[in-house]
Structure 1
Amino acid sequence: MARWTVRAIMRDMLPVLVVLTLVELGSGLVLDTFQGTLLRYPSLLVLVPVVIGMGGNLGSILASRLSTAVHLGLLDFDPTDDTLGGNALATVLLAFTLFPIVGAGAWLLQSLVGTARLGLGVVVFVAFASGALLSALAIGVTLVATYAAYRLGSDPDDVVIPVVTNTCDVLGVLVLFGVVRVVVV
């Protein structure tokens, strides 16, 4: 398994962080292309940081739990594994619970300041659909990153959470705007 030395951690983390920095820059460019839509519908503008943050949070929670399970020898990377299935299900249920609340909160905030241009149902649906898709993607990214770290002999605690958090940030932008294009625009 992995060694806990500064050199080993730097060897694992530095290339990952350089690549993730470039990925985040790409995410910012994508976000910039939707500036007009966001300014036209302020409720969606409120959703952007929350969806991005919650997607990364869901992924990092799952990554942390799976990394711990790897260290304890409780994870088999088998689709029938109870640890894997239970944590994936918890991630989906958390997303199904939280994202509609986030959508309602974004709509309420925009209604209070008088700039809501979309109905409550539309904003809640956009948030829910984004969260549902993002949770599925977060599960996939987390499983791949955890398995890759395990197979490559890296410490999943060092590599997986930054990879998952940053990747889910980017996917959060893409998923949100994909849903917006289908539902709103």
Structure 2
Amino acid sequence: MSYSSHADEDDDVEIEEEYLGDYASVRSIVKEALPFQILATIGGAVAGFIFAGMTNELEMIPGLIVIAPAVLGMRGNISCTLGSRLGSAIHMGLITKIENNPELTNNIYGSLLLGLIMSIALGIIGHTMTVLLGFESAGILALTSIAVLAGVSSGIILSVIAVLLALGMFRFGFDPDNVVTPSIATIGDIVSMLMLFLSAKVVLML
């Protein structure tokens, strides 16, 4: 084996050790992720407080309590997936700026369209399940309207936050994969619950 081959192997070993030390070590993962996980826990409690303040809306809109957890779960799943895709695209060098970036716009539009489709389905499923289980429902139109308003509005807000967060964390030297998903999950719970609350009020005023 030539000297150059040995040198290449040594370089590969050094790169691997540097990667494990700076990026993939247990210490670096915990150091980056722990603060955001703590914030995620606090954010979940904040979302709970918002939900606790919706007593009047829950009483006046039968079936709202059925779709509320589903709205949070749906929005969290879609937004976290968007955050993960953005993080992967940034690591691959596909997203380096916000302007004129097809990869970025396709991810955002896909996320918003998926949110709209699932919101409509959620309203229909929520009404159907409520009726089948023998409970009173505010009606398929009311529940679907609330789900769509809450899902689309929170989707737009969270898409903007996901993009800014992913690009910002990467530029400041953080790994987006460790930061974006828990952050979006936390912010998503708060934003989705707040939009659900406001959407319920809008429907009650109609």
Q: Do they fold alike, i.e. is TM over 0.5?
A: yes
Relative CO higher for 1 or 2, CA cutoff 8 Å, sep ≥ 6?
1
Q: 2:77 aligns with which of 57, 65, 78?
A: 57
Matched, 1:107 2:127: yes
**1:37 — aligned with what?**
57
Distance 1:106 1:158 in 2: 34
Contact 1:39/1:45 (<8 A) preserved: no
2:167 corresponds in structure 1 to 147
- Does structure 2 conserve the Cα–Cα contact (< 8 Å) formed by 1:42 and 1:116? yes
The secondary structure found in structure 1 opposite 2:187 is helix
Counterpart in the other structure of 1:5: 25
Partner-residue secondary structure (3-state), 2:63: helix
Q: Distance in 2 between matches of 1:126 and 1:62?
A: 23
Q: Residue by residue, what CA displacement relative to the aligned partner does 1:150-185 show, whole Å, maximum 9, x if unpaired? A: 011111111111111121111111110110011125
Separation of aligned partners in 1, 2:189 and 2:77: 9
Out of 97, 101, 121, which is 2:117 matched to?
97
Q: CA deviation at 1:40?
A: 4.0
Given candidates 150, 161, 184, the residue that maps to 1:164 is 184
Please list every run of 5 or more consecutive structure 1 residues that lacks an aligned counterpart in the other structure: none
| Distance in 2 of aligned mates of 1:27 and 1:126 | 17
Of 154-163 and 143-152, more deviation after overlay is shown by 143-152
Q: How does 1:130-141 map to 2 (within 5 A)?
A: 130-141=150-161
Q: Highest Rg: 1 or 2?
A: 2
Structure 2: gaps of 5 or more residues: 1-18
Root-mean-square deviation (CA, aligned residues, Å) is 1.6
**Other-structure match for 1:46:** 66
TM-score, structure 1 as length reference: 0.93
% same residue: 26
Match of 1:116 in 2: 136
Aligned to 2:46: 26
